[in-house]
Amino acid sequence: MVVPKAGPRALDDLAEFLEPFGELVVRSESREALERYTTGLLSDVSRKTASEIGRSLPRTNGQRLQELLTRTSWEFQQMDRQRIAHMLERASVGKGVVIVDDTGLPKKGRHSVGVTRQYSGTLGRVDNCQVVVTTHYVDGVFDWPVNARVYLPKDWANDRQRRTGAHVPREVPFRTKGQIGLHLIDAAREAGIAPRAVVADVGYGDQPAFLDGLETRQLAYVVGVPVSARFRLAEQVEADPGDAPAPEYSGRGRPRKAPSLEQRVASTEASAILEALPDDAWSQVAWREGTQGPLIKEAVRIRVYRTGKRAKHVPTAGWLVGERPLEGHDGDRKFYFVWGLDGEDLQELIGLAHVRWVIERFYQDGKGELGLDDYEGRLWPGLHRHLALVMLAHCYLTLRQSYGPQESLQRSPPAAGGDPTSCPAPSAAAFPP
């Protein structure tokens, strides 16, 4: 990939872009360290660590940059809020969605915050790593990272000694990845993002508490679900006559209770529901242009109610959406559950499900070019400040690519009305192959 690499001096418009964020720190030396670190992330330094950047760039050193990450007084959450407000003004055309996902950062040892042997979808295996949950904004024109938090496994969250050593705040409890996702969404909404929907993969679609949280917040969503996910057909639930009478008491033992809806209406695996549909129920759907033409698959949807733990009935209906490759083509079948988007047609729902590719591209670009996985410190504040600065650098590139190097801070965004399911976002061009 080719990016507008910074040299020893900042890119022409970077200092101006960073100026309002410099107000988050008090001392002029810290503001210069902020500019130097961000310049280093945009440079061709092989590893974007404080020590390597300090050795490669003038007017700084590794100690100053490390102090910016661990000792200087500033809040990464405030930087996130300020950056989100800036991007909503400069890089948003409305109808945006928020993607929730996580990525693994390989690490050695056991003392860096959140590091343990755990499964990482990014690595595709169990390995020693940190897992960072992130959210990402995308609309019909723009996309950019929103915020991020490291996942603390239970053995970390409950280990007072390791928490203290890594400076984990006392108010940070154990949270599942889904709970972290909801926490990040809440922070994004407080900062001004009003998502049309939330999009997530099967790792989040398989967490009933995460889906409950989105519904409680009245946030529409499109999530991947496993083949084994169970649903109740809406036509059967809605045709159910209601409470059935209890069986007649025989005079022996305890009187039997009336059967519940869970007992009256069976739940069925997603794969079985869709396999029972006739072939003519499926239709071809193209959701965007790929490098070799339009991306096309067959898709279908059916109205269902989702189930909770132990097949408990959840009284909110949505769409079970299936996707399969065209006849004669390779590929896997995929399943999605959609809630709160009853007005969208099947093509729009498939497009929303596939908008997740944008966050995968951010991970690739962030790790390959901006040092997303290069932080070597052990502390909670240092890791999150590094993540905040990586996201700041990425947003700078998004604006620079969208408006040009001399106009990125002056021009207004295009008119509202874009559709994130069909339009490529400009930061893809910021990292051309």
Burial call 212-226: b when 16+ CB within 10 Å, e when fewer: bbbbeeebbbbbbbe
Choose among 333, 98, 350: nearest CA to 200.
Answer: 98
Give residue limits of the domains in the chain.
1-74
Q: Which residues contact 116 (CB under 8 A, 6 or more apart)?
A: 110, 128, 153, 155, 156
| CA–CA dist 307, 315 (Å, integer) | 9
Average the pLDDT over each of 9-13, 31-35, 223-227 and give the range with the smallest value: 9-13
Structure tokens at 210: 């995460």
CA atoms within 13 A on the CB side of 145: 31
Residue with tokens 């909770």: 308
> What percent of the chain shows pLDDT beyond 70?
87
pLDDT tens sequence across 342-389: 999 999 999 999 999 999 999 999 999 999 999 999 999 999 999 999
pLDDT at 331: 86
How confident is the model over 40-66, as a mean pLDDT?
Answer: 94
Q: How confident is the model at residue 70 (pLDDT cuts 50, 70, 90)?
A: very high
Choose among 70, 68, 71: nearest CA to 53.
Answer: 68
pLDDT tens sequence across 262-298: 878 899 999 999 999 999 999 999 877 777 778 899 9
pLDDT tens sequence across 320-340: 999 999 988 888 999 999 999
Structure tokens at 334: 């995929």
